[in-house]
Amino acid sequence: MDKYLVVAIVIAICIIMVIYTQRGGSSSSRSGNTSFKDIVQKEFMKYKVIERNQTIMICEINHRNEPDELVLIRIDPNQKKNIRNFGRRVTFTYPKQPSIGEMRKDFAQYL
């Protein structure tokens, strides 16, 4: 009987750990209420961040009050990480949402 009790306690602890990690993992890594655009805006406050057609654009505002696109961020799960230059503009394609450190490192040359 004691063996069954120990096994039941171990299974209950495992179930509680799974529930705790699943619930905590989604909200603690990135706050659930903050969009990716807001995260990028907080990190690059000097620039204007615009979301258009599922693309995040980091822009400077020129003298005519128009945005000059410097960096475009696309998230496409079907592609690996890709960097394309087009004049002054650079397009970064990521397979998943990049971390702040990864964006800082990637964009340092362009911003």
* pLDDT, mean over the chain: 85
Report the distance separating Cα 18 and Cα 50, nearest Å: 38
Q: What does the pLDDT read at residue 92?
A: 92
pLDDT at 33: 64
Q: Which residue has the higher pLDDT, 32 or 20?
A: 20
Q: How far is CA 91 from the centre of its chain?
A: 16
Q: Dump pLDDT digits (tens) for 61-88.
A: 888 988 888 899 999 889 898 889 888 8
Domain boundaries, the chain: 1-32, 36-107
d(CA 13, CA 7): 10
Please report the pLDDT score of residue 24 as a whole number: 58
